Structure 1
Amino acid sequence: MNIPVWVWFATIGAAILVFAIDIFVIARRPHVPSTKEVGTALGVYVGAAVLFGLGVWYFAGSTFAGQYFAGWLTEYSLSVDNLFIFLLIMAKFAVPEKYQQSALMIGIVIAIILRGIFIALGAAAINNFSWVFYLFGAFLIYTAVKLSREGESDDDEYEENRFMKYMERRFPATQDWHGTRLFTRVDARRLATPMFFVILALGTTDLLFALDSIPAIYGLTKEPYLVLTANLFALMGLRQLYFLIGGLLKRLVYLSLGLAVLLAFIGVKLVLHALHENELPFINGGEHVPVPEVPISVSLGAIVVILGVTTVASLLKTRRDNNLRSA
């Protein structure tokens, strides 16, 4: 794709405007959003994502449109898994409901910044080193194995990492909430508020998910513009999705397993692509390996099937378990 510079600036500018308006509204009136409010906003964001994909189809063709939709669905599904961790973080720190929107919005902004950095680094690596696909593929397969093991666990509590434990020791803090402020003064002492640690927890979580999601989407498209827009549309409406399906997330018991299968599929696809483009001298003498590559139509179909089966199987199991408890 040959994307003019003005299109890049227009896209980034529009995204900044949307998020700025969202932040301004939340800052003015912290509240627990109604189902109608989040449902309407989420419908607008999803509709905009679909319309954008149709626009890609019209201006750039079905192949790039397929890459965009595959990337968007993958990033969206990974973001849903991210939401489950957000729920655990909110519960861990006992965040009042009216402040959860502010915490989520800051977490999403952090996610956008981190993903933007990784998108740029990924594009630079791909343009200069074709062997990076080996690393991306191996990392996704490793992540898939790790995620599948976590999916078999019944642990539903957020465990603080070493960085969080260090920061809690490093910063004197108050246990009281002071609105959405990160720091406050108590008896002339400057103390961190619980919101400060919530933001840190969300930020470190975003970093881990960015490490997974960027290699995953580069396995579906090598176009940085599509990678960027797929990520932006996946993050838009994430706050509303949190409030709309918070209870449903706990019913998606096979979500981690489904995402593990999805990441493994993309990881294998990346390794096949790396072999096809191989330039490493110790593999096939530095020559391309004649292996089949997975077309984007197959990738898109596989993503839809994996996510669909995961959702249906999760809901059936949850309903069956509830019936057994009530029997």
Structure 2
Amino acid sequence: MPCPQMSRRLFSCALGMTAASVALPRIAIAQGDKPLQIIVGYPPGGSTDAFARLISVPLQQVMNRTVVVRNQPGAGGQLGASALLREGRDGSAVLAINQPDLNLAIARGNAGFKGTDFRVMMADLHEPRVFLVKNDSGIRDFVDFVNQAKANPGKLSISVAGGTAQEVLAKWLVDTLKIDVLVVNYKGGAESANALLAGDVTANLGDDFVRSVLRPKTTALFIGSDRKSPRWDEAQTLQSQLAKLGHSMPSPNFLSRYGVYVVSAEFVKKNPSGYQALQEAFLKARSGPVMTDYIQKNNLTDMSLGLPGEQFENVFSSEMREIERINK
């Protein structure tokens, strides 16, 4: 996801601290002196890439081991996931990706891998979806949007980044609410946001923090979470808006973006102690001052997780079932 302002600061911080490595006791992880790769499933410059580069600095210090961040974008995360399975069987590679993007890559069924090939080691951040219209749209809230869609079939439209969870959520809303609204796919998040500003679509479905740069020109009709967002104080939760329409979400944060770090399930099975040590290293790096200071300074506390991936297994598995149902 494009997030140029955030990533620029992150890169500067990461690059500036790399030279100041501190020798700490080595965490034994059975790969000897082999560098640890963080494979980012997206192009450089997005928030996932930026946070991977930021955490690599304290991680290198915690492990006393070289950490290399590399980008392997393409096919909605499929190429990065495939690279992990090829190169991470011994735990020397970790995939930085978003859920539910990994679930979507699996659900497409053409990538040659399945859900049981992966283990989510750490959930880093949670970013809900936000539904935006231009300030002069005249649409008061999401219930009003739905009522206008029913009164004017085929006239309203929603822009999304095609092939992503944004598209899946938009189609789920259209299907669930039985409204005739056009979901328009764009190449990426920036293009879909620009389509709203240009007046080419009625609404845009994007990500809460990333879309905050549009704050002066747009109004949020809902936050796709069970909690309100400090960046969009006018927006009600999608859960509350759907309740007024007689519907509910499959889960409180359905299809929100979770930044996650993933390892090969084969590595976990063959070397459980190595997996535990690697997970502990990531959690320690994540809880250190480099990450926590940045999160506080940039008002990301409400999105911050830094928790073991096992705590989110039920969330991701329930979303996978819903994705498979939608894709049928």
TM-score (norm 1): 0.24
TM-score, structure 2 length as denominator?
0.24
Greater C-alpha radius of gyration: 1
Larger fraction in strand: 2
